[in-house]
A and B are shown apart, each in its own frame.
Chain A
Amino acid sequence: MSSPSDTDVDDPTGSAPDDDWTYVFGEQGSLAPGESDLRPGADSCYKCSSCDTSCPVAEVDDSFPGPKFQGPEQWRLKRQGDEDIDPSVMECSNCMRCDSACPSGVPLSQMHNTARAEYVEEHVSKTSLKYWRNRVLSNYGLLARLGSKVPRLTNVVMGSRLTQLVNDRVFGITSEREFPEFAEQTFVEWWDERGGDEGSRRRARETRAERDDCEVDDEKRVAYFHGDYSNFNTPEVAQAMVRVFEQYGYEVAVPDQRCSGTPMFANGMLDDARRAAKFNVETFHALVEDGYDVVCSCTSCSMALRQEYPELFEFEGTETVSAHTYEALEYLRIHESVREDVADSAVEFPDLAYHAPCHARNQGLDRQAVELFGDLEGVAVDDVGDSCSGISGTYGWKSEKYDTSMAIGEEMFDHMESVEGETGMTECPTCAMQMEHGTGYEIRHPLELLDAALVD
């Protein structure tokens, strides 16, 4: 397995040669009078405002001008003359709902990502606390790497009221939320203990020999993009993924990897995102070339690899990785008889209130879990509707955004409480935090249910 020889692995401030990259959202005043304004996509906007009515932030915050302004209108204004990027772009939570609302194919989230990056680059002081707060939140994985080395101590410190108050008052990280606990054993530690990629290859081979729907020499291989959260905080999700895929005879590879970049995009930290993406693309491209498909258990990670990487970066292999990346359940739906297998199974599992993450929605995955588990005996899964959870990754962790985040989430909390199940289910780790925070429910992942249904 190849691994890029990047030296600044654990240093978000390290100056890789790519650091000079700037993200220009429409050069100011570059449009001569009378010249037509043809950015691919921006010109497709006919101002129907469907994006604005789909925007969860605009729905609760009257001062937020909405995606139509943030994207195509701001682009035109800036190109015409003296208007600069409006600070309100920082209020966008990057839920990307506007993308699937637009009937005209305007790449709204891409425009927001580049506008936000330029705003942070040009207008946010690099010595301000807020900049560093956002940067630290975006680079959660680096902190987690340290914290998880001493999980119990970290949990005690982060859970203490004093830490929370200091975080809130000094850094602007809300004290309303409980920090997610670090697992005592990370997923990668568990994986290594189980024999790593080699062990998986052996187990998968044994399984294939037993299964009658595949041959022992079939090349069934997936490379798992687990992301930081399931590694450090919810290894049970990652373990379920491994068990399910090995049950179907897949050799799972778990390469060294960085954060997908999702929180960095949302905070306008595109240089950090770029470094992480470069590492991930190089790693996973090599595996794809070896016949692996990439599988994610987090729908924001799959979103980043599939859509944001090719929209924002041009590393060799970016498109190839994008075209070979799948969400775990999605992969099984089109490669295995999971529909029939689930329909033939029964589980003992608490009834579930399912919330589809916004990023799952954009990949067309928002209904697959409810559809699949609708045929499973022993558990009722209710969809709690199409509202946004409101947390959008790091957004709801910021003191000044907390109230907006909870106002957006209110509809989902109400719907969760109105259905039978008193346990939640979702693919997205931060939606899960918000669901738990708003209702007190325990939150599970579809892969855990699939594990319970299919794995002996």
Chain B
Amino acid sequence: MVGATRGATEGRPVAIEDDVLVVGGGLAGVTAALAAADTGVRVRLVSHKESTLRQASGVVDALGALDGTLVSDPYEAVERLSDGHPYRTLGADALRSGFDLFDGTVTGYEGSHTDANALVPTHGGTVKPTARYPESVAPGLASDDRPMLLVGFETLPDFDAPRAAAHLERVGVPFAVHGVTLDFPGNLRADAAVTRYADLLDEAVPVDGGRVDARTALVERVKSHLSGAERVGFPALLGHEAHDEVRAELSQRLGADAFEVPMGPPSLPGTRLADQLYAAMDDAGVGIETGNPVVDVTTDGERVTEVTVERTHTAVPYAAEQYVLATGGLVGKGIASNRESVRERVFDCHVPHPADRYDWSVEGAYGDHAFARFGVRIDADGRPLDASEDVEYENLRAAGGVVGGADVAAEKSASGVSLATGFTAGRLAGEEVS
């Protein structure tokens, strides 16, 4: 295993060695790293940038819609997916194992008591079927019939509360809902970072000329708009370090459950989830290196022997017995396209796609686009397949958005695909070493 003699190859750097090397630091990469570490082997995760979990909503879906219809039980719906979908390839058990790992790792999440999806209101006023959701989001579920107030802020254009409320009414939620737009205490500048809002609440900073603290001022402003609402939804900025305490205090003083509506990037619930998962990797002894991309690979044709990380213009080699590719899809930049073709960036794995690029998309934003399913295809062990359906490399597995075959945006399955493929890739990579 590890511990090769160094210094023998004069001048040339010798690779930093581990048993399993995970490339990519999003939900799939982290899940793979944790699953591999769980088998007792030495794991390292390298990630080009800070985790994309920081841009994620913090809500964890499994399978929310199929052919435009909402799915109530993701596990039951797996067999209705088309061939080549990662859930079909790996099986519903992989999805369950992925969620078991998630539930065993993070705290402050709900939804594990049932296989059925919960309906979470979004900042656009739609409802998102989802498998797990933060406790801060829980009082807002659409299946609950208590009357709701949504509160937006003048300086925060990303959440238009009256509009979101109107939209929720239009989709027929079983409760009364209205929205108001208020001034957030503390006179923040327009478009200030969400962390600024959270900090004012975290630290209960004096506002309004020192008259009251930010939490009190917020309660005072919201109270007159309650009109019988038993729960109040805010954009997801109710504190950062002290978010549980902030929410509890607001709820108690409003006499209504305060909850968070998940938001787009940058996202505090996503950041809180990233912090928990990265702390779990630290606890599991996973080596983590963030900030630089894998730019090159060395193989002997059958196996990957080494990868090269470009550390701020300097090439640094990394080696492992097993590798997990978790670099994301087209948006995450694990998959690249030009006018001629589509390719996987790091290992140049085969990405099936129509030869004519005019067949990559269809009319209409929500049409059945081929590009939405672009990614590497995997076998039942999570290994990417080449054009003739043979394994690309014996010791390479793929996880998350880089795996194709699922239209995760339409299906609302991005997190579930990351958990199922991440768990499978990490567990099998670890077992193969040990």
Q: Are B266 and A364 in contact (CB under 8 A)?
A: no
The answer for the CA separation of A215 and B317 in the assembled complex, in Å, is 23
Given contacts A50-B50, A62-B189, A326-B314, contact A336 B7 (CB under 8 A): yes
Q: Are B313 and A323 in contact (CB under 8 A)?
A: yes
Q: Are B314 and A62 in contact (CB under 8 A)?
A: no
Q: Are A213 and B5 in contact (CB under 8 A)?
A: yes
The answer for the CA separation of A250 and B156 in the assembled complex, in Å, is 57
Q: Are A49 and B193 in contact (CB under 8 A)?
A: yes
Least distance between A423 CB and chain B CB atoms (Å):
22
Q: Which positions 277-315 of chain B face chain A at CB distance < 8 Å?
A: 287-292, 309, 311-315
Question: Which of A330, A334, A366 interacts with B290 by CB under 8 Å?
Answer: A366
Of all chain B residues, which has the CB nearest A341? Answer: B6
Q: Does A66 contact B (CB under 8 A)?
A: yes
0/1 interface trace, chain A 53-89, chain B, CB 8 Å (1 if under): 1110011001101100000000000000000000000
Q: Are B266 and A213 in contact (CB under 8 A)?
A: no
The answer for the CA separation of A372 and B315 in the assembled complex, in Å, is 20
The answer for the CA separation of A302 and B312 in the assembled complex, in Å, is 9
The answer for the CA separation of A362 and B289 in the assembled complex, in Å, is 10
Of all chain B residues, which has the CB nearest A371? Answer: B287
Q: Are B7 and A335 in contact (CB under 8 A)?
A: yes
Given contacts A322-B314, A333-B16, contact A367 B288 (CB under 8 A): yes
Q: Are B7 and A319 in contact (CB under 8 A)?
A: no
B11 contact set on A, CB distance < 8 A: 219, 291
Given contacts A310-B313, A335-B14, A337-B7, contact A62 B291 (CB under 8 A): no
A330 contact set on B, CB distance < 8 A: 311, 316
Of all chain A residues, which has the CB nearest B316? Answer: A334
Q: Which positions 306-342 of chain A face chain B at CB distance < 8 Å?
A: 306-307, 310, 319, 322-326, 330, 333-337, 340
Q: Which positions 194-233 of chain B face chain A at CB distance < 8 Å?
A: 194-196, 199
Q: Are B314 and A325 in contact (CB under 8 A)?
A: yes
A49 contact set on B, CB distance < 8 A: 193, 265-266
Least distance between B9 CB and chain A CB atoms (Å):
9
Least distance between B154 CB and chain A CB atoms (Å):
15
0/1 interface trace, chain B 36-60, chain A, CB 8 Å (1 if under): 0000000000100110101100000
The answer for the CA separation of A49 and B196 in the assembled complex, in Å, is 13
Most-contacted residue by chain B among A50, A65, A100, A365 (CB, 10 A) = A50
The answer for the CA separation of A141 and B195 in the assembled complex, in Å, is 37
Question: Which of B192, B287, B290 interacts with A62 by CB under 8 Å?
Answer: B192
The answer for the CA separation of A363 and B287 in the assembled complex, in Å, is 15
Least distance between B310 CB and chain A CB atoms (Å):
9
Q: Does A403 contact B (CB under 8 A)?
A: no
The B interface, classified by DSSP as helix, strand, loop or mixed, is loop
Given contacts A53-B194, A103-B49, A213-B7, contact A363 B311 (CB under 8 A): yes
A42 contact set on B, CB distance < 8 A: none
Q: Does A136 contact B (CB under 8 A)?
A: no
Least distance between B189 CB and chain A CB atoms (Å):
6
Of all chain B residues, which has the CB nearest A367? Answer: B288
Q: Does A162 contact B (CB under 8 A)?
A: no
Q: Does A248 contact B (CB under 8 A)?
A: yes
Q: Are B292 and A364 in contact (CB under 8 A)?
A: yes
Q: Does A218 contact B (CB under 8 A)?
A: yes
The answer for the CA separation of A219 and B10 in the assembled complex, in Å, is 7
Given contacts A303-B312, A323-B315, A334-B317, contact A214 B7 (CB under 8 A): yes
Q: Are A59 and B193 in contact (CB under 8 A)?
A: yes
Given contacts A48-B265, A59-B193, A340-B3, contact A100 B312 (CB under 8 A): no
A269 contact set on B, CB distance < 8 A: none
Least distance between A314 CB and chain B CB atoms (Å):
14
B10 contact set on A, CB distance < 8 A: 214-215, 218-220
Least distance between B169 CB and chain A CB atoms (Å):
30
Given contacts A49-B193, A103-B55, A213-B5, contact A323 B188 (CB under 8 A): no
Q: Does A361 contact B (CB under 8 A)?
A: yes
Q: Does B346 contact A (CB under 8 A)?
A: no
The answer for the CA separation of A414 and B188 in the assembled complex, in Å, is 26
Beyond the given A49-B193, A306-B312, A364-B309, could you list 14 further A-B residue pairs with CB under 8 A, ordered by the A residue number? A49-B265, A53-B194, A63-B189, A100-B50, A213-B7, A248-B7, A306-B314, A322-B314, A323-B314, A323-B315, A335-B13, A337-B5, A363-B291, A364-B291
What are 29 A-B pairs with beta-carbon distances under 8 A? Answer: A48-B265, A48-B266, A49-B265, A50-B50, A50-B55, A50-B265, A53-B54, A53-B194, A59-B195, A62-B196, A100-B49, A101-B49, A101-B54, A103-B50, A103-B52, A213-B5, A213-B6, A219-B10, A291-B11, A303-B312, A306-B311, A322-B312, A322-B314, A334-B316, A337-B5, A362-B312, A363-B291, A363-B311, A364-B290
Which residues from chain B sit less than 8 Å from chain A, CB to CB? Answer: 3, 5-8, 10-11, 13-16, 46, 49-50, 52, 54-55, 188-189, 192-196, 199, 264-266, 271, 287-292, 309, 311-317, 332-333
